[in-house]
Amino acid sequence: MLSLSALVPRDPLHQLTITLCIIGLFLAAVFVLAFRPKRKGQAPSTLEAYLKFIYGCFLKPHTGDGTGSQQDALESFYKAQADVYDATRLRLLQGREDMLGLVAAQLKHRVEAGLISQRPVWVDMNAFIPVASFFRAVYVVDLSPSLCDMARKRFVRLGWTNVKVICQDVRAFRLHEHEPQAYQRKELISQGQTVRDLDENADAGGAELVTMSYALSMIPEFYPVIDSIDSLMSPNGVVGVVDFYVQNQVDFIGRNYTGGAIDRHCMWISRVFWRTWFEIDRVNLEPARRDYLEYRFGTVLGINARNNFFGTGIKLPYYIWVGCSKDHGASTQKLAEIDAAATESPYLTALDLQTGVTQADVEVRSKAYESAIVNLESSLPLPATWYQNHHWRIHYDAGLPKHTRFNNSYIYAFTWEDDVADMRILKPTSNDVILAIGSAGDNILAFCLENCRRVHAVDLNPSQNHLLELKVAAFTALGYQDVWKLFGEGKHMDFHNILIQKLSPHLSSEAFQFWLHNGPSIFASSSKKGLYYSGGSGNALAIAGWLFRLLGMTEDVKKLCAAQTLNEQREIWQRSIKTVLHSKILTWAILGNEKWLWKALGVPPAQRNVIEVDFQKTADFVEDKTTKSAGEEYMAFHEEPSDDVLKSSSGNAIYEYVLNTFEPVINTTLLSTSNHYYLLTLLGHYTPQSHPTYLSPKSHVKLSKPNAFNGLRIHTDEISEVIARMRPGTLTIVVVMDSMDWFPPTGTQALKQIRALNRALKVKGRVMLRSAGLEPWYIRVFAESGFECKRVAVRVPGSCIDRVNMYASTWVCTKEVGIEHEHIKTTTFRKTSLAELRLEGPALRME
């Protein structure tokens, strides 16, 4: 057998000779194709285009006129490759199409909102907006004569008579010199006359769109160029820039106006290599260009990406930035109005941010408002959240450890709260002001469907709020079929395009960056199963699916989810699936593992302890029931078991809890039509017959109406931080889910939050909570803090508390007395035991 290694010469001289021959042949091919005459009207092939690009960039000597000017340098670089510019730049200069799509989406939104009309713009973007009909005039400004000549021929071929190509230094470009209306406006201003149409004011700006595509890095004196953009723009105009960059996180850390820093930092070797490489062609990647752009304007969207054209190991950094005037939406009146909605303070008048607040009734301020004051006093743009088209998302500091510890990932891709049960218990109205934990956002949308006056969604994990933002943007911009694909099926193969072209105007910069980086792999990947297999909860679904496949039960799972009667469903459950899910070995190995409970199910150790305490109390109660009096029986259940006892019963406690959770669900609710919670966990998606309330066609009609989310505010913070910055006595309903279980019985965290809730609620305002415990320890703290506590539902063996049946009890705590009377209530309630509280509400059987 002949070895391939025998064909390769071992002599180093021979190896070098062969290598040089290969390089020589390659260079010869480059030169031949570069200088080969081109037939008239014949476009170069892809191979020819890239070989000509290689020649122009790396091999062609400088052939300028010797002046050393920027125009001479540009012409020397582009002249030999101008005819293949379009063919090669689509892949080499990635991000341009996305940038044009983003600014097109912003323009469409602002036109529909009545902020701008069809006015002069600067760049070709026909793939997203019909240039010939949408724009009155388009100006393409470039300093390279060869590129300008190619552009003119291109626009003649396309028939765009409204596009004008200007070969000029952009620093000297003035719109009024080319626009008759702008020139007349300038004349009237010079004569002291007042004209209302600011769009035609050449000094204040007349273009609704200014874009720069891989141009800023090639301009030596970039400061006056960036300054000139402000004079070109109309007050409601948009700026779009895409370009190469390299930057160290030291440069931008702590800046709250950049719109997010996901993937912005470049490694040292990347910074050195790319900066040196590009300097050969007079392309400058120093961070000052982008920094000054963000300082000079307000950031609407910011993206940091990598071009893998040269291979996965060589990633060329580039950024896309969409901005607006620094003063857009920055009026004190607008800031005060938005702040009032976030803090539930009355909006009175435009406030003077520089001298401070004089109105006693509006002294409560949000963190976003305080950050705006700091920026305005420092002549900086406002934080990016202030420049969004919607003010749903409240500004937060993404660099704080309490946010970064979630590693840009959410735990819950869906919500484990029965919204139908919530609405039945709370009966919200249009007068209610609600604060609820955001989670995956399903419950927040349920409150929005009730047309509540204000809904404050709170979650400490930024990614959970990114998911809620995506849902709100989808209802605002998409039709029902697209919404269903995203959140019903959990898959949308065109996710990238709808994110750019439709959803982007309705997302904050942080949320948009998150979904641009993660969305395609979640929603549009053929190798992944979709939204509900992402996040921590997705791990649980994936493990369950793997286990069913391993045991050959996949078909039984499908049959269970398709069963049309309870008897059919029960038979499949008893015959097959129950033996796996109720296996003690599985429970001890997986469900009893603290790390798995937290990572996959979001069950913290403190909540697990609540389950174990109840289990031990019940065991002690049953054991001693026959020998003790009624009072002694009560103490047997309510005494705290020792740590040693709890450790010995850990696996049994979780096993019993799981048993009491799943069994009643299968026996009393039909998954295929009325229990989408467990249908999702088994199938990984919803069905048209079984889905959350917000995914019905009727709900889409309500949530897609204009101003449907005007009352929504999304806070990225702890509940205690949010309510501390709210005007006292304004909330009517607070839903804390099971978060109170997360507090340890020792310490003062729970007490502080409960007192803060009392302060923020109106008298008769209600707190609804669920707990893994039958009588959680913190109910007494509520009682001692001015609340009347009522257990409105309790889980008993064999019955469902609701369709989820995951929690042991549901409570409503109603504020009776404010914390200003705390000393009175403390005396009243300190002697009150849990047995004397109103523990009402039978189990809710779901048929």
Q: pLDDT tens digits for 490-511?
A: 999 999 999 999 999 999 999 9
479 pLDDT more than 70? yes
pLDDT > 90 in the chain, percent: 39
Asked if 636 and 625 touch (Cβ cutoff 8 Å), the reply is yes
- Residue bearing the bigger pLDDT, 181 or 439: 439
More confident residue, 762 or 799: 762
Provide the pLDDT for residue 153. 81
Q: What is the pLDDT of residue 791?
A: 95
- What does the pLDDT average to over 668-697? 94
Confidence check: pLDDT of 484 > 90 = yes
Is the predicted pLDDT of residue 814 greater than 80, yes or no? yes
pLDDT digits (tens, 9 = 90+) for 225-263: 898 888 888 888 899 999 999 999 888 888 889 998 889
Which domains does the chain possess? 13-68 (no CATH), 93-325 (3.40.50.150), 332-387 (no CATH), 401-489+698-836 (3.40.50.150), 535-683 (no CATH)
Statement: the pTM of the whole predicted model exceeds 0.75: yes
pLDDT confidence bin for 822, thresholds 50/70/90: very low
Burial of 705 (0-12, 13-18, 19+ CB in 10 A): exposed
pLDDT at residue 187 in the model: 59
> CB–CB of 600/537 below 8 Å?
yes
Question: In which region does residue 273 sit, left (phi positive, over 0), alpha (psi from -120 to 50) or beta (all else)?
Answer: alpha
Number of alpha helices (DSSP H) and beta strands (DSSP E) in the chain:
38, 13
The string of pLDDT tens digits covering residues 704-756 is: 999 899 999 999 999 989 999 999 999 999 999 888 888 888 888 899 999 99
Give the span between the Cα atoms of 184 and 190, in whole angstroms: 10
Q: Sign of the CA dihedral 685, 689, 694, 696?
A: positive
CB-CB neighbours of 529 under 10 Å: 17
Q: Given this model, what pLDDT does residue 659 score? A: 72
Say if residue 650's pLDDT is above 70: no
- 10 Å Cβ neighbour count for 830? 10
Residue 643: band (very low, low, confident or very high) from pLDDT cuts 50, 70, 90: very low
Higher pLDDT pick, 458 / 150: 458
